[in-house]
Structure formats: C-alpha cells, structure tokens
Amino acid sequence: MEELGATNQQIGIVLGSFAIGMLLFRSLFGRLADNRGRKIVLLIGMLVNAIAPLGYLVAKSIPELIVLRAFHGISIAAFTTGYLALVADLAPEKNRGEIIGYMSLVTPIGAAIGPALGGYLQAATGYTLLFLLAAGLAGVGLLCLVPIVNPPIQKQHRVNSNDRKFWQLLFSPRVRVLATVMLLIGLVFGTLHTFVPLFIKSAQVNLNPGLFYTVGALASFSVRFFSGKASDRYGRGLFITLSLVIYAVSMILLWKANSANIFLIAGFLEGAGSGILMPMVSTVVADRALPQERGRVFSICIMGLDVGIVIAGPVLGSVAEQVGYRNMFAYCAGLTVLALLIFLTQCSRNLSDSLRFALGRGRDAYALNKS
C-alpha cells in the first residue's frame, strides 16, 4: 500500500475493508452450510483464499485493494463457519469439548508461523513470491478438502427448532448471551491488536511488541491441550468463567504496566484467556444448536466477535484520545468484567441456574444433550 502511495488513513481503510466481506457474508454462509452441507462452504472459503493473493499481484490502485480485501474477507466468513460446524458434526457428544479444543490448535499455529514466514519472504524476495506462496498454500488446502466426505445432517425436530430467521436466532436465550460476550471480547481483542504497540512505545518500555503477541500465542496454544478435555468432565461454563477472569486480570495488568515483564505477563494471560474462551464458546454453541442450524448459530456468535474487532479501533481509539492509552485499557478491563457479569447472571434460564452453570455446579439448561 505504501508503494502505491497510500496515506495512513487509506491504509487503515484498506485493512478495515477485510471486515466487509466477513460481516456481509457470515450469515449467508451459515445458512448455506445448514442447507447445502459444510463442505461446499469450506470449498468456497479456501477457493477465495487462493484467488485473493493473486489479485494483490496485479492491483495498481487503492480502490482495487479495497475491493480485493473485502473479497478476501469472504474466505474467513466461509471457512471458519463451515469448519466449526463440520467439527461439531463429527465430534461425539461425550468428548466434544476435547475434539473441538484439539481442532482449534491449528489457529495459533498458523498465526505464529504465517507472519514470520511472510515477513522473511517479503524481506528476502519481495512481494511476488510472497503472494504466490500464499495462493499456493491455499491451493494445497483446497486439494485437502476435496476427499472430505460431507456428512449427512441428522435433522432433529424439537420445539423452537430451526425454522427461525436471523434475528430470532440472535435474540433467543441460548444464543444472545454468547453473542454478547463475544462482542465485548471482540472489542477488547481488537483494541489489543491495534494499540498495544503504541502503548508500549508511549510508556517508553524497552520491549519488542512482537514478543507480547508471541507469548500470547504460546499461551493460547498450550491451554487448548487440556481445557477442552477438562470441560467434558467439569462443564463448559466453568471454563468460560475462568477465561473471562483471566482476560480481566490481563487487562488490569496492562492498565498498570510499567515494565517489560508486566507487559509479557499480561500478554501471556490474554493468550491463555482467549485460548480457553474461543473453543469453549464454540463447544457450547455445538451443545445448544440442532445439527440443521449449527452453521447459522456459529455464524451469529462469531459475527459478534467480528463486529467487536471492527469497531474496536474507532471506539476505543476515541477513548484513547481523551484519556490516553493506559487508561483506555482500564476501559477494556471494564468491558471484560461486564462480559463476566453478563455470563454469570444470564447464561441460563434464571439467576440460580446461571450461577450454577457458570461455576461448574450445574448442567447447561439449553444443551440438547441433557445427560
């Protein structure tokens, strides 16, 4: 973008346009996954992921990049929705948390390897090989999807089943609290990935901001090995509560951080919190959704995260302009505590059931498996 003469504002617009594809198409792909099967949505996502990098090779203007980035966002909207629904279909109920936890390990691995590999290639060979490799990796992924057998969706007919519109699903008791928690955490997550480097610089702390994200990725990877399996035994609610508590502590540490060690501890805790929360919410969604509506319910909950990440920059950026980066993270701590309180008090049919589920003392009243 800099080589094409983009200003800082234009760079922000191009980067942000990725969310256009995600937000506009997420619910569409949720319906498609339910009506036509998970495999076609996975194929669409990976095909877009293979085509988009080739477009970057020939783009000659900022408007072209905006369109390409929006198109590229479709890949995430499609693939993550189909992937989560397919894993939930294939995972046995008795160890669903363990399977989803293991399958989610690929996310921090890719996020750790991809930027490092891309940065090396860009510095060593320029952009052409970088974008060709990105397209080639997506092409390999596309080939890996071809032999996957699209499992038949075992339709179950229950009260309040699948004949619902988007807004009916969003505001249903089993979905709205999860979507709200994801929205609030998306705000915090987006703020972290936008403003932590600027905060470290303004605090005059001698720390490479990349290390903050590295320790977070390591923590996110590590906790997924045991949290999913443990949730099958001790309950999903307990681990969602634990993840939100850890997230809140990490934000409080960032608020007070004045040394490299405190920043790194905060980064580690943030990674651990997100590493528990994301697969655990996915597992609760799988528990609560009928097979023929999983794609739509997954898309709604993930859309909450998408919206939070998209609006984090302008919303929390305006807060930072008024109170500074340090105090901005106090607001982030408040958002995380709010998410925790909402989950503790609203995650089930009433306050008593909500507290029992959130503290691992009772079952999920909205889970379809009542055993």
Residue 156 placed within a domain? no
Q: Looking at the 3D structure of the chain, how many domains does it have?
A: 1
Tell me 273's DSSP state. Answer: H
Phi, psi of 116 (to 5 degrees): -65, -45
Residue 166 placed within a domain? yes
What CATH code is carried by the domain that includes residue 180?
1.20.1250.20
Q: What is the pLDDT of residues 18-29, one digit of tens each?
A: 888 888 899 899
Residue 368 placed within a domain? no
d(CA 300, CA 214): 29
Residue 30 placed within a domain? yes
pLDDT attached to residue 161: 47
Residue 95 placed within a domain? yes
Domain that holds residue 55: 8-148+162-358
Listed in sequence order, the residues at least 6 apart from 203 whose beta carbon sits closer than 8 Å to its beta carbon are: 257, 258, 325, 326
Residue 7, CA atoms < 13 Å, CB-side half-sphere: 2
The pLDDT tens digits along the chain (371 residues) read 878 888 766 776 787 788 888 888 998 999 999 999 999 999 999 999 999 999 999 998 999 999 999 999 999 999 999 999 999 998 888 889 999 989 988 887 887 788 778 888 888 998 899 999 999 999 999 999 999 988 776 666 554 444 467 778 888 888 999 999 999 999 999 888 888 988 998 899 999 888 888 899 889 989 998 999 999 999 999 999 999 999 999 999 999 999 999 999 999 999 999 999 999 999 999 999 988 888 999 999 988 888 888 888 888 888 888 999 999 999 999 999 999 999 999 999 999 999 999 999 999 999 986 44
Tokens encoding 70: 């929006």
